[in-house]
């Protein structure tokens, strides 16, 4: 895939997610493009729906908290066979991450903010429907 194709995939997936979220909850997603706003939303205990360039494609996750210089997020495409504390990514085109729990991963907050500033991340505030969105994402991915 070329860069333009991945960028278009990123924008399309973020748009489709916003439409799905609105259809399910009646609440539109608001885009966040400022790192300080990103931190404030997490500090207010709101989850952020993140669509990002991930290797040769696009991935989606739900950012849940910022602590100890790391962003903790639910990854619906996580490899559930990995063990807590295992380091993944970083050498395969995906960001370096650490497995925290079943479906929960973390990565350097600075890395996420650099990706946000570079346009490799689209962050949208969502209502707390993490498990429902994750389940829907899995069902749609199976088709």
pLDDT value for 1: 56
In contact, 58 and 6? CB cutoff 8 Å: yes
Mean model confidence pLDDT for the chain: 82
pTM: 0.77
In contact, 73 and 62? CB cutoff 8 Å: yes
Q: pLDDT, tens digit, for every residue of 90-116?
A: 998 888 999 998 789 999 999 999 989
pLDDT tier at 131 (50, 70, 90 boundaries)?
very low
| Distance (Å, whole) CA 129 – CA 127 | 6
In contact, 41 and 127? CB cutoff 8 Å: no
| Distance (Å, whole) CA 46 – CA 56 | 29
Q: pLDDT, tens digit, for every residue of 56-65?
A: 788 889 999 9
């Amino acid at each position: 895939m070329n860069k333009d194709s991945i960028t278009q995939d990123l924008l399309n997936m973020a748009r489709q997610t916003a439409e799905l979220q609105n259809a399910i909850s009646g609440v539109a997603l608001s885009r966040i493009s400022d790192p300080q706003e990103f931190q404030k939303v997490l500090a207010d205990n709101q989850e952020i729906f993140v669509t990002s360039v991930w290797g040769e494609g696009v991935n989606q996750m739900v950012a849940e908290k910022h602590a100890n210089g790391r962003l903790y997020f639910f990854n619906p495409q996580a490899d559930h066979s990995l063990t807590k504390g295992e380091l993944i990514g970083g050498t395969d085109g995906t960001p370096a991450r650490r497995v925290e729990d079943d479906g929960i991963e973390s990565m350097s907050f600075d890395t996420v903010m650099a990706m946000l500033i570079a346009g490799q991340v689209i962050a949208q505030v969502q209502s707390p429907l993490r498990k429902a969105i994750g389940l829907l994402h899995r069902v749609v991915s199976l088709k």
